[in-house]
Amino acid sequence: MRPTSKRACSRVTKNTTGVDLKQLFIGSEGSLGVITRVVLKLEPKPSAANTVLCAVASFDDATRLLKYLRAHLASLSSFELVWQGFMSAAMDIAHLKHPFGNAYPVYVLIETLGESDDDDRRALEQSLERMLEEGVVQDVIIAQTIEHAKQLWAYRETVGELLSKLKPHAAFDIGIPMDRMEQFVEDARASLSERFPQQTRLFFGHLGDGNLHLLSGPYADASDLLEVEELIYAAVSEAQGCISAEHGIGVIKEPFLHYSRSEPEMELMKKLKGLLDPFGDVAARPQAAGRR
């Protein structure tokens, strides 16, 4: 009899012994199975953190800033982009003061996490000084205390309040290639403004991984919400992006999956579902539960 092991390769970092089966489950939202056991890799908790709010004149400058910081700051952990419309709405709903004397088209929240507070801060300050000298950054606020850092993050973290204010709203979690994001935002803003001039449109996102969020509303008519979704997801497809970057497809986005996946891809996913779950979903077909 050939010896078997259930966990022979489950704890290693590199494993090229055939197909990486766990990748089948990533993004499947439980439709292919349920995770019952995981192996975690723990990292030491960072002992030093720095938070910065930058004002930049354009999206292009924001991308130049990101590329420079990636090359010069090993401790870079967050690079959050906020467009002016979102910043104004955040200040209004949370009664926050404007962080700078002037309004700017784009704002960037930066965070570094490392082991040496003095070394990390010095490297961060030197990088920002260089970006200021080159005109990539227009103004900078560096948090001096933990409380000050929380105040800077407060502009970005008003999302929950804005979602409540804009109900019924259309909320998008999309992936857009970085080199197409600026044009996508301009086109989406123009299209929504033309079709729904009374509704608010707010853009923000994680520039480093191309994850863009869009909030728009309120829309009292369900047909308007559907039209907005069709408009945005079609634009996402045109930009060669994806309709869900981190939140998943679920039930609501399923009718729009064709904007991100081809017919052969969807057919393959259906075959995988049938292979791993031949009796179908238990909730939909409870009679199959006894045959599992």
- The string of pLDDT tens digits covering residues 213-225 is 999 999 999 999 9
Give how far Cα 201 sits from Cα of 4, 53, 87, 97, 191, Å.
57, 22, 12, 21, 11
pLDDT surpassing 50 at residue 203: yes
Instruction: List, edge to edge, every strand of the sheet that includes 200-206.
Output: 139-142, 48-56, 106-114, 76-83, 200-206, 211-217, 170-175
pLDDT band at 2 (very low <50, low <70, confident <90, very high): low
CA nearest neighbour of 77 among 37, 45, 99, 103: 45
Q: What is the DSSP string of 26-48?
A: TTSTTSS-----------PPPSE
CATH topology of domain 166-268: Alpha-Beta Plaits (3.30.70)
pLDDT for res 287: 39
Question: Do residues 80 and 109 lie in contact, with contact meaning Cβ atoms separated by under 8 Å?
Answer: yes
pLDDT in tens, 89-123: 999 999 999 999 899 999 999 999 998 888 999 99
Provide the percentage of residues in the chain whose pLDDT is more than 90.
72
Greatest mean pLDDT among 5-9, 21-25, 104-108, 207-211: 104-108
* Mean pLDDT across 39-60: 92
Which of the four pLDDT bands, split at 50, 70 and 90, describes residue 6? Answer: low
Q: What is the mean pLDDT of residues 116-134?
A: 94
For the chain, what are the domain ranges? 48-158, 166-268
Q: Can you give the pLDDT at residue 289?
A: 36
Mean pLDDT of the region 28-48: 85
Please report which confidence band the pLDDT of residue 12 belongs to, taking 50, 70 and 90 as the band edges: confident
Residues 39 and 11: their CA atoms lie apart, in Å, by 7
For 47-73, what is the mean pLDDT?
97
> Do 48-158 and 166-268 come out as alike in CATH topology?
yes
- For the stretch 230-286, pLDDT in tens is 999 999 999 999 999 999 998 889 999 999 999 999 999 999 999 988 887 644 443
Q: pTM for the whole thing?
A: 0.88
User: In the prediction, which pLDDT does 278 show?
Assistant: 87
pLDDT classification of 9: cutoffs 50, 70, 90:
low
For the domain made up of 48-158, the CATH class stated in words is alpha beta
